[in-house]
Amino acid sequence: MAEKSSENSVRSIQRALNILLCFTWDERELTLTEIVEKIGLAKSTVSRLLTTLELEGFIAKDQKTNRYKLGHNIYYLGLIAKESLDIRKISRPIMEEMGQASQETVNLYLLDHRDRVCFEQVESPLPIKKSEKIGERVSIWQGATGRSILAHLKESIWHEMVKELRPITEDTIADPDAFITELNRIREKGYAVSIGEKNAEVGCVAAPIFDAHRKVIGCLAISGPRFRFPDNIDYYSRLVTEGAKKISNQLGYFEASPSYME
């Protein structure tokens, strides 16, 4: 009997959490009917859970519109969680896994105005490798790392950056039309590639990192000697996109609302 009661309590907690997760950046207020449709539970069950969540300050109800929104205790806990987030601590184990899988150098870059800054690095274990100084700053129009960030900023910024284009190597994308086309391709595919563009002997694949506000804040990259970079970069692109997504998710970013199970 006690075991059954415990199972019911756990299920109630799961359902209450699912209700909280119904709310998104795009749907900040929901009716009872909308919540019921999202999680697939009986209206009476959802209503009872909402009442409990409201009493505890996790849900607030507008008495005029009968719409629900997240309560003050969620805001309070969110502030605590935000202060506890350390992007270096979050990223490091993911970067180490990527470095082991690729045997190349993995870098974390953060956006600072119109530059990307190297924030963390896991070096390749191989004797010939590409390394970068922590704190090194480069304009976001340069290379895969910069473009992976720039592609997810406003297009007005794209055209600002076009004015800075110049050939660094013979492989640099310095043509304005080709540059804009490449940014559109990166935005669609979710990652950027450069071979010999910023450094003639280096290849790089990078993917953007987003925060809880769905804003791009930096990128994750794999880089190495050009002679060792494969013609087919699918493996590297998968590693960086999956790694960047893991970091983004831990920072609170989600591309779409999760599915809710009873």
pLDDT score for 239: 96
d(CA 215, CA 238): 21
Query: Three-state SS across the chain?
Result: CHHHHHHHHHHHHHHHHHHHCCCCCCCCCECHHHHHHHHCCCHHHHHHHHHHHHHCCCEEEECCCCEEEECHHHHHHHHHHHHHCCHHHHHHHHHHHHHHHHCCEEEEEEEECCEEEEEEEECCCCCCCCCCCCCCEEECCCHHHHHHHHCCCCHHHHHHHHCCCCCCCCCCCCCHHHHHHHHHHHHHHCCEEEECCCCCCEEEEEEEEECCCCCEEEEEEEEEEHHHCCCCCHHHHHHHHHHHHHHHHHCCCCCCCCCCCC
Mean pLDDT across the chain: 89
Does the pLDDT of residue 1 top 70, yes or no? no
Q: Which of 200, 202, 193, 187 is nearest to 234 (CA)?
A: 193
pLDDT > 70: percent of the chain: 93
Does the pLDDT of residue 114 top 50, yes or no? yes
What pTM did the predictor assign? Answer: 0.70
d(CA 77, CA 252): 13
Does the pLDDT of residue 3 top 60, yes or no? no
Tens digits of per-residue pLDDT, 75-111? 888 777 666 568 888 999 999 999 999 999 999 999 9
Does the pLDDT of residue 146 top 60, yes or no? yes
What angle do the packed helices 176-189 and 143-150 form, to 10 degrees?
Answer: 70
205 confidence band (pLDDT: 50, 70, 90) = very high
Tens digits of per-residue pLDDT, 215-259? 999 999 999 999 998 877 999 999 999 999 999 999 888 775 443
Does the pLDDT of residue 134 top 80, yes or no? yes
What angle do the packed helices 32-39 and 43-55 form, to 10 degrees?
Answer: 110
Which comes out higher in pLDDT, residue 21 or 83?
21
Residue 219 burial class via C-beta count within 10 angstroms: exposed 0-12, middle 13-18, buried 19 and up: buried
pLDDT score for 75: 85
Strand partners, 219: 109, 208
pLDDT score for 141: 95
pLDDT score for 218: 95
